[in-house]
């Protein structure tokens, strides 16, 4: 059954308010610092109560990381689909290209977010935890595609996934910190090409 118009409108309104709160929070984090900006201040600046804030975000940290990776697609399912047509490394590449396409038009916002993250030990740790969670969601999908002794498949899949996410993070940082001389997809492609021989783990 199709989603009713009323539900669709409510979801769009919820998404718009989440985006507004994220923008307000990012501005305050830039001005005052992440650790020096309590939820009460974010809520006040956005014209809502702290209680309402927590209806949209479970924590202050989630304001920055709640929509990362920025895609509505199930990434393990997308990886599984790419594995039907490509080896493990290229399948990871194409899966993360989907994420890159979703952020490639918002360099200014991501540059600002990256600067804020780099000023806070709490945020750096949160970002690392998020990457670990993403890795854990992708590894089981990749394991069956990595040929070789069963005892080594899990290890090889872990290495490939973590290397792929490192390529993404490095390309993302390089792109976000520059003034437009390179696009996100181009940076990601260059990063993955550096390790293109990793597909040989299938042999």
The pTM assigned to this predicted structure is: 0.77
Token readout for 197 is: 């021989």
Q: What is the DSSP letter of 86?
A: S
Q: Is the peptide bond before 69 cis (omega within 30 degrees of 0)?
A: yes
Please give the Cα distance from 188 to 29 (Å, whole number): 28
* Lowest mean pLDDT, pick from 10-14, 53-57, 112-116: 10-14
**What's the average model confidence in pLDDT over 128-139?**
90
Q: What are the tens digits of pLDDT across the range 67-118?
A: 556 555 689 999 999 999 999 999 999 999 998 887 766 777 888 888 888 8
pLDDT at 12 exceeding the cut of 70: no
Do the Cβ atoms of 25 and 63 come closer than 8 Å? yes
The more confident residue out of 41 and 172 is 41
Q: To the nearest whole number, what is the mean pLDDT of the chain?
A: 84
The residue count of the chain comes to: 203
Token readout for 138 is: 């992708």
Please give the Cα distance from 119 to 116 (Å, whole number): 5
| Nearest residue to 142 (alpha-carbon basis) of 130, 129, 132, 154 | 154
Taking only Cα atoms into account, the Rg of the chain, rounded to an integer number of angstroms, comes to 19
Q: Which domains, ranges and CATH numbers included, belong to the chain?
A: 5-60 (1.10.10.60), 75-202 (1.10.357.10)
| Nearest residue to 105 (alpha-carbon basis) of 19, 169, 12, 184 | 184
pLDDT at 58 exceeding the cut of 70: yes
């Amino acid at each position: 059954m199709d989603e009713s118009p009323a539900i669709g409108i409510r979801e769009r309104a919820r998404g718009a308010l989440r985006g507004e709160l994220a923008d307000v929070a990012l501005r305050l984090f830039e001005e005052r610092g992440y650790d020096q900006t309590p939820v009460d201040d974010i809520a006040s600046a956005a014209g809502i109560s702290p209680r309402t804030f927590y209806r949209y975000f479970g924590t202050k940290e989630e304001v920055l990381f709640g929509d990362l990776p920025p895609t509505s697609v199930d990434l393990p399912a997308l990886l599984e689909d790419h594995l039907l047509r490509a080896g493990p490394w290229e399948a990871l590449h194409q899966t993360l290209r989907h994420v890159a396409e979703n952020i490639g038009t918002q360099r200014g916002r991501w540059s600002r977010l990256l600067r804020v993250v780099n000023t806070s030990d709490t945020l750096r740790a949160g970002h690392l935890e998020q990457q670990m969670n993403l890795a854990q969601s992708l590894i089981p999908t990749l394991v069956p595609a990595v040929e070789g002794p069963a005892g080594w498949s899990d290890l090889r899949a872990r290495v490939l996934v973590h290397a792929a996410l490192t390529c993404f993070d490095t390309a993302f940082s390089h792109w976000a910190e520059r003034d437009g001389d390179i696009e996100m997809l181009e940076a990601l492609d260059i990063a993955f090409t550096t390790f293109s021989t990793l597909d040989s783990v299938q042999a």
